[in-house]
Structure 1
């Protein structure tokens, strides 16, 4: 079955302009065209586009995505290079996930802080509560936040 840009965009859940942009950036060399020059997508193209979307979500650059597509189109002799690209991006994503987890931990701590303050009617003294007053999971977060604040104070 053949699909238009609009149909493929709906299937992917992206604007049609995104697919046109990918084409302009050289990410869709596999897509055929009708005799009138209109892009014609197949089911296989949909799988390629899903991979492109996945790689973009990992933060992979368009340059690296283009390199991956070019390597894949060259065949099996590029398997090791493609694997290296994916391993590199996996490391990048793991780092981002760890950073996001720290951000989530900080938000969890701040929610606890303000929930506790709301229950006491003030923020006064909440920072000075003993560790035992905090949920166990938040204790290392508060320690990390305090250490970061002390490090900033020392730098100034």
Structure 2
């Protein structure tokens, strides 16, 4: 099945300029064109965009995503290289998540203090 640029925007939430940029930079590979040179996207392109968005949302720089895509294009001989890239990124994401969890604990502690203070000011009993 083929999708137009508008379809891609709706399916991915990305703007046309972003999709064009990703393609130009080699981040979104394998985009075909019709006889009028209009982009034709397919399900594989949608999966690539979802993967790119996951990597971006977890902090991977575009330059590293580009390196990954270039490695992917080289084929099966780069599987261990790509796996290593994903493993390194996974470790970074896990460390970030751990740090975020610690920050969340501090925020929750502060909220609990405020709940206690407000309850005291309002002469309410604190329910546990």
Greater relative contact order, per chain length (Cα 8 Å cut-off, separation 6+):
2
TM-score, length basis structure 2:
0.87
Aligned counterparts of 1:26 and 1:15: Cα–Cα separation in 2: 17
CA RMSD of aligned residues (A): 1.7
The yes-or-no answer on 1:16 pairing with 2:16 is yes
Q: Where do 5+ consecutive residues of structure 1 fail to align?
A: 123-134, 136-156
Q: Where do 5+ consecutive residues of structure 2 fail to align?
A: 123-127
Shift of 1:53: 1.2
Q: Which residue of 2 aligns with 1:6?
A: 6
The yes-or-no answer on 1:90 pairing with 2:127 is no
Aligned counterparts of 2:104 and 2:41: Cα–Cα separation in 1: 40
The yes-or-no answer on 1:107 pairing with 2:123 is no
Shift of 1:24: 2.9
TM-score, length basis structure 1:
0.73
Shift of 1:52: 1.0
- Figure out how many residues of one structure are paired with residues of the other and give that number: 123
Aligned counterparts of 1:79 and 1:3: Cα–Cα separation in 2: 29
Between 16-25 and 54-63, report the one with greater CA deviation. Answer: 16-25
Structure 1 ranges of 4+ moved more than 4 A: none
Larger C-alpha radius of gyration, 1 or 2?
Answer: 1
Aligned counterparts of 2:118 and 2:24: Cα–Cα separation in 1: 53
Q: Cα deviation per residue 1:83-124 (whole Å; 9 max; x = unaligned)?
A: 0100010011011101110111011001101111111129xx
